Every structure is written in C-alpha cells, then in structure tokens.
Structure 1
C-alpha cells in the first residue's frame, strides 16, 4: 500500500539549486514578523520569508482557485513543496486571514471573522520569525520560544528537527487533500519508532508494520528517547544513555545538491516467475517471512558530479569503457536498422489494412436480426448529432427520435482494427441478452466507416448523477437499485447463453428508467466466455477504483472481477459517497472501502451513511448490505460470493456471515 506524502527531506542549502543567483536579496532580511501583522488569502499575497528567502509562510492555493491552505513551503524551488500546515489541513476561502496576536499567537480566521485554527500560545509575545531551517518560531517577551512549527509537525521532517517520545507524523489523505491520512510515524513512550496505519474512524493506531526495536525492557536507559534528523542528513534515534542508533544506513555525500529520502519506494516482489508490484506478499514495506521471494527495488539513475579519487582510471576500467562504447555503437546501429524497417512496413502496410477495414462487407459485422439503420437515417433522427447525452469508452451517446420513440444513439469513434472487433462484440453480445436489468439494444448502423448502436432511452440518466447529486436519494430507492444491478449481473454471469464478464461495472454504466429500474449498459468492454470456459486472458480493463486486484497480477481473470466492482458500487449506493477521489495532476485515491471497514469494525454505521435516518431506521438491512459489500471487495477472489448468492443475501434469503478484513496484510509484532 502506498504511503502518501510521509516524507523526510534533506537539504544542502545553496542558492543555485533553487534557481536563484547567489547574493539575491530576500524580501525580509531578518525574517521577523511583528505582533499585529497579518496575511490575507489571495493569489498574489506576499508571504513571510526566512532571511535567506529559502522558506515561506503564508497561503497556498490548493484544490482549485477558491481553496487556500495556511502553510510553510520551499520558496525557491518551482513546485513550492509544502512542508508544514495546521493539523487536519483546514482549507479556507479567499479573503481569509492569519494574524499574529499577542497572547494568542497565530490565529487563522475565515472572511466572516470566524476562527478556524490557532496556535494557542498563551503568553506575552514579542515577535515571530521564519527561520532558515523551515521552522516558524514565536518568541515570548522573555526571549524564549513559546511555540514553533517543528514541535507540531504534520507530514514532513526537516534537517535539525527532533521528535520526542509521544511525537507523531501523519500522512495526508492524498496529494492535494491535507486532512489526516491512514499512515503514521510515531515515537512511542517506550522508545520504539514505528510505522503504522490508523483507524479512519477513531484515529487509533493499528498494529505497526515497522518497528525500530529500540526498546530495552531490561535496561530503560538503553531505550530510545528521541528521533533526530540532523543538519548533515543523518537520521538516528538517540537513546536515553546517549548512544545513537542510526536509521540512515549510508553516509550522505557532501555537495551542493538537494537530497530527498522518501518512504514511498518503487518495489516489486518476484515469485513463481511473476512480478507482484506494490501488493501482497509485500505491503507497507514489510514482507511476510513465510514467502520465499526476492524483493526488487527500482532506483532512478540521477546525473551527479564527476567522481573524484585516486586509482580510478586503470587499464581495466579503460578496457571496460571501450567495450561498453563498442557495444553501445553496435546496439545503436542495430536499433536504427530495426526502426527503419518498422517505418517502411508501417508506411506500406497500414494504408492497405485501413482500406481493407473500410471496405469490409457491412453484413459481415453482425450476426443478428436487429433492425439495421442507414447513417443518414440516424443523422436525421439525432438532428445532426446535436443533443449529447454523454461519453462512453468508445464513443459519444446522443439523444434521438425514431418515429415517435425516443432513443439513445451511440456513435463509435475510430473504429478500425480493434474497434471493429469491439463493434462486433457489442452488437452480437447485447442482441443475445434479454433481461429487465439490462439496457435493450434496438438496432445498429454499419455504413462503411460509420458504426452506431441504437439503445432504448433511459429518462433518469446514470446512477452516478442520481447518487452524487445535490439531493440524497431515499434509502428505499437505493436498496431497490442495488438489487436490480445484482440481478442484471447474475444474469450475465449464469443465465444467458454465453457467460459474459462486463469488466466495467461503475455508476456511469448503470442507467435508470422512468421507474428507477436499474439497467446495466455499455458492453463495449465485455469479454465473452465460451460455455466450457471459466477464465479469460485479456488486457486490464475497467475504471480505477472499481478494478479488482487480480487484474494487476497478470493472471487469468474470472467473473469475480465483476463481483469486486459490484462491491465497490454497493458501498457507493449505501453511503452516497464516491469510491475514488479524483485530483488534478495527481493519482486517484480510493478511500471508500477503507472507510467502510473501519466504520463496520467500530460500529459507526451512522458515520458511513452520514446520519441518514431512513437507512439507520432499517438498521438490520443496512448492516447486511455493508457486510455484503465487504465480502465482495475481498482481495482474494475465492472469498467473494457469486452474484446469485449476493442476490440471496440482499433479499434476506440467507444470513450474511461476519466478513473478514477485505485486504489482509501481515504485520510485525
């Protein structure tokens, strides 16, 4: 599991590294801030700078132009990396202010003057200052520090920073979500430094997956006392007797460079001739000793200064360099020849293949008795494709009218080679399926380069719009929809003539009719299975957040991938929460399954449904539905129920047993 943004930064200060000339003056030469000073959250506001100008304290825009975060950041690097912010990462709107107030310290307030956060420095204050280590310090009238940001860390430690026993660093939820995440680095009272996940509901720590083993039960003076990150880049635990236990294994080379050590390594496990990336049997940096495997770490090669030293230019090194040079030249020539041949083949062969694809007999694409429309008929029906309903994986869907019937016309784009195959797959598959919880295919068009599909029109739109709109749907409607989706999937898996794996179950592919009957749509990603097959090999398909773990293991997949996706969908239907948080220029962060497990474990189902009284009044069904969802999203496919069994559990026909943790992981003791 990825450790989001829990990072340890090591810095060699030099102006050229950050893109400024040496001698360039900072905005505030001494970095001091007088009592009564304030900053306003605006895009062009000047921050409070350290004397060197390396660090800045102020407001940064995050998650769009209307959200600001009070923070400290590296001012002289392009991406302005944030290294401190108030616990919980409260974002504020434009016009918010932070004031340095006597006997209060830093006070953050919104545009209406309501206090959002404060440092609570209850003392007579003299001034504050942003120092050149990245620490914002508030000094008292007695010339002693009464508050500093180093004593209240968030997700980052900097050189010269110390963590005492009882100290903790929390990861943030995601790259641009600064609320507390799932991971912690803690210095325990017994002297151990640990890494652990935490319960998202109670905040209490789970079992540690890394322990420094610096607790000595037989001699308390030999136990750890504080974690120190010194100015030279060494990180170590200082024991109570003054002995150091190094955490940084290798020496940090001196030089004018910016170093960063991150706890999020690129790692894979090699076992049984397969590569397992960032998943079991290795997660959270811990490998279960029961597995006989090799760990492979990927290191980025970084250009650095030329090495210096004696006896580095011997005859053996020269010979090796000569061989490398000759081998590289030969390899380069070979690659050039191969590239030229590929280009020639592409230029000569692809146009012929395109011509063949265009001239395919249209009758050969479909083996059904569906009504076939001409392209011009559909142009007229859609009024020139003007009313767009939405976009699918292989094209755009438009609203149209044929006779007196409203229809949805899906226009496939770029249908050549693989697209022709997808077109045949979609038409032949859907035409053979008949179920009230599946979208009905009414016809098709296959005119030369134009391929279109005509579906029944769903007046209530997608389940995504229904679930995540401004008004929360009723619990009765949501549970009815969940059962309908389950019945549609069960039909695809077990009751139609050829078993079908949908591969892309998500709210956007569930449509609702006038009576809120759920109908599964978009078979463009479906994979037909022959009667005597139960597994299929194919590339990874589906949508992030709904894709089962086995897709990434390069192994044949079963229909249980749809069960996993349904489990995620069911949890979304129950909670009216999105399973994945999408952020600009960052990875997608899936949090709903973790939240569901934590709420279930802590008995806080009210939190999961955001105090939905209708759902809470139907507590037995609510509990059962959450348990079913947790069974469906289990990491092990064999632990997931079939859709037939899911229906029986949803209808109350069979009892739902206690679900295990959906993502079990070994931990240290």
Structure 2
C-alpha cells in the first residue's frame, strides 16, 4: 500500500507540473538573451526580467498584449538590477538574484520549494514536493496591483510605483485597515492625514478588498456580506456606452440608437445600429431625430458651441450640422461633439442633458402609417411639380431661344456654385472618371508615384482650386463599389490638421481614384533628401515641429478617430507639407481599403523597405505598433536629414538605424547632425532616445503613440532605451 500511495503522489505531482508549465530547481533567467521570463500556460502572463528606469526589475507582467503592463514586482527596495544579473531557482528551493559582484538577494521570504508555477490568473506559486501545498504565492503579497480573484486582506497595503517605468516604491499607500476602513495615505510618517477613505470604519474586522472578473471593486466581510461598492472607473463600458446600477449590481448600457460591438465584452464599447450614407436624408424609410439622455456627462471634446439658449435650439443645431453626432446641453450652452463619446456617465447629481443623434429606419420601427402619409404627400408634391414644370417649359418655348439659352446658362452657373459649396463643406464628392480626366487635362502633370498608385495635379475649374488626384492601381482596388464607397466615407470622417483631407473620389467601372487637397511644398522626402545646393534643409526647430505634427497625426489615426486605422506605410514620401510648413500624413486608410482584416498576419507585406516592422517578416499579428516602428525610422530621417541606407558613406554609417545607436551609446549624438547647425545636444539626445524606443524589435517594448507624443512634448520622462535588436519576444 505504501508503494501504491507513493506512485499516486508522484503521478499527481507530475500531472500538476505538466498542466501548469512548472519551473524546476536549477532554472535561471537573465535580462537579455533567449530566456528572459517564464510564461503561464496560455502565455498571458510572464514572470521574469523586464526593463525599467536605470536597469531591470523582476516581476509579473501581462505578456499577451502589445502594451506591457506590470502587475507585481519583487524586492522593490533593491531596484534596479543590472543587465548582467541572473535570476535563479536554487537547488534548495529559493528564488535569488545574483549580481556580477557576487552579491545575492533573496527575492521571496521562503525556501524549500520543489517547483514553482505561474498560473493563468497571474498568481506565481511555490509548491512543496507533493504539489498540493502552497508554500508561497504572489496573491498573498500584492505590491501595487490587484488582479481578478485577488484580495487585499486586513493589514495588507498596496504601495504605488514611482512611475510606469520605475517600479520602486512610490509616494502613496492603500491600506485595508483592521477596522474595515480602506484608506489611502501618503507614504511617509505614521500620521492620519488620509487622501481618501471608504468611510466604513464601523464595518468591523475581516473586511477585504476584492476585484471580480467583471472588473468591479468592492469590500466584503467574511466573504459573504456585501459592505461597500467601489463604483466602476470611467471607460469600463467602452466608447458610446455608460455604467448603470440596479439593486447593487452594475452593468453597461449603450447610448440610444447604439448596440454593443460584442455583448460578451462590454469594454469594446458600442456602435450605431443604423448608419446613413448622407446626413441629408432623402429616403422616406429613414429618419433622423435627437434622443435625450438625462443627467449625462462625458469627456469634453467639443468642436463647436453654437448660439442655443434652449434644449430645442441645441437639438436643432446638432440636426443641422452633418459633423455633429451628439450634443451636451448644460442649461447655459450647447456643446456639439463627434463620435466616439468617451467616459459617458449618467448620475443623478448631473443636470446636463445629453442629446444623441439617432438614425432610424421607419420600416423597422412600425411606423408604416407614417410612411404611407409621407408617400401620399410626395405624390401630391410630384403632381404639382409636374404641372409647374410643364407650364415653365411652355413659357420657355414662347419666350424664344435667346431667353432659353440665357436661363440655361444661369441655371448651370448656380448649379456649379452649389456643387462647389457642397464640395467644400459637406465632405467627399463622387466624381465621374471623365470629370477627373478633364480636371487633370488628361492626367498630364504627374506629381509622384507610390505603392498605391500615381498622383496627378488637377484644377477645379469653378473655383480654380488645385487638387491632387491619386489614381489607384487597379489590381489593388477593392472588389465592390459599395464597399469602396463605404470605406471612403470612413476615411472622410477623419478630420485632423495633420492629415491630408479627402475631397472626393471616383468609382467608375474598374477605375478607383481619390481627390485630395494639394500640398504646395511637396513631400518630406523632397525636402530632406534633396541636395543641399538645390534646396536648403529645414532648420532644427522646423524639423522638431514636423516630428511632433506627424506623431499627432498617427495618434489620431490609432486612438482618436471613430474607426481606428493602421497606416502601414509611414515614410517621408507619404508626409506632405502645406504652404505653412505643417506636416500632414497622406495615404492613411488605403491599407485598410486594400486589406480589411488588419488583426491577422498578411502574407503580403505592406509598407516600404526600411520602414517595415520586423513582425511583418515574422508573420506575427499586425498591430498599431508597426506604425510606431516606422515613425521611429522616420524620426531618424528627420533628425539626420538623410536616407535609411546610404552606401556612399563609410560602412559604419551606411545603415542609419545602426549608426544612430552607435552614436548614442558612444555619447556622440552630435555626429548625427551638421556641426554648423544650432542644435541643443540635450534635446537631440531626447529625440534619439524616443526613436530608439520606437524601433525596438520586440513590439511590446515600443511605446504607444500617445506616450510618444508625451515624450516629444516633454511631458513624461524618457527612460534609457536598450539596443533595439537585443530583445526577443517573450511570447
């Protein structure tokens, strides 16, 4: 019986080890090289080294998403570790970090573990030899984060980090006190100067802070009695959605006229149930109205405050504005906004009224009687119109040919002026191929060629406005006319000072063309790469302004426009400059037109050699981080006023990306610019560091464009970047 029991115990331990991807004694990790972390079974979480300010830290982070998020950090009072440190699971069952000087640090206050496991919950556990007893687990020792299923027990404390890039202990501490009160204190002294408290000091002992799988944070007593609900943070319900409470339970709702993108994942937000191709509704089966959302507030992104002193006037102002999707009436003013609406809240203490524009199909809303009445009215209007037209024709015939021609000429002139006004104010206009052929004088003057097609110069005769007409390659054009027009309207709804404006399009047979605003100064490539004797280079201040402009444009495409767009071909040739030197991104949305599912790896690499992110070649999922990589290379082009590869230079300087890192590592960044330029070395070093972070081979190490903008503007600290090619993916 003893032998049988031993066999069962050994088999059980072996099965647990396989199911949990266990770490055995003798295993080790290093900050760089092939193995930097141990993964959970699904590769969602990783335990190991990650870069932080001044070196590295050891902890648990989310590895399954592009933006790395740290959830637990070991030995925060001894950070940072150097790049030659080694994490070991020793033969006697301890976790230690060894530095080159021979100094050894015990990360955990335990020993004697037989194996360790990082679970898919984010909990790192040390087991005894049976595999059934937990000697230690990270869930019992939280640092600055609670994960789903984790509790903050009485007497336990969460300490804030110094920053997102420095996980050392910061200036705040959140304590679950023994009296049941959850309190946020400054991390100094022992005084009672609290920043915030749950105000539950009478709840008594055994109260814990809990985070459930739906993202709700609450206090429990003895794991059964509900004490206090800590309301959801804004944005949990996603864009165009808001939180509501019913009988102590929280949920998400969509704005009127909207529905969940995915009913199983509220955080993805809501989308419109019905859409229309034009804000001027001519279909009798479609209607536009404004619906109230009382006691509402949301993130202020107002683009216009019209004169409207009443709620009805505010509704009318939004209805008559094609850019308006919602309005917030505060009682004193009317604030018009576009979609998406972020951080929507409906609370009794608010007196604001949200006014949401709703598109409704009458056939789907049981208003057939209304349609019948409208049709009767239209028949009557048509009959009267026919009579009037007949009479007008008779008068014209009697008036004679001269008067007839005069009136026809006047009518055409008015029609042209009206079309010009609509062309300017209402967004993209549909052109025929013959009209664009006339505008461009038979596609005579070529402005340039790109991966998507050829660009020609044209003139709108009625307004004498110059335009750029891009003729897309037919083999790359979308298959369906309706699909193409739908995507054109998506691109047309993007409005930003750093994006070229789409004025019109043509979908005539197999031909697909775009009409864009004409940029007088040409492309960034023309300015940066032209010989010095033919065209002066932009000065240092102008180059920095261009970099910031481009970053803002990419940020808008990624996070701020209604439909997130991955450009996939950021390069100097696709950056155009207007007469004031403002940089604008062109060709955005074309990659989306040509390949609709951007969440999956494409067998056809998009982009231009030298600007293409490594994940394209590795057939990894494509995310917004491919644009971040391309921006990093583009930033180097701007700083150095040269191409990515220049074989006329010495071998060590030929490849721009490698040369930039060599100069940075040697603290000789001034070699990157002309010595006669008035360049501030500190600012140049900052720009180089930002570019090096952007071109990291591992996508998760690259910052988001939001963070890139903050670093460019000097809002956040720029950590020391590693060698871009020294990290391998942890997934």
TM-score of the aligned structures, taking structure 1 as reference length: 0.41
TM-score of the aligned structures, taking structure 2 as reference length: 0.38
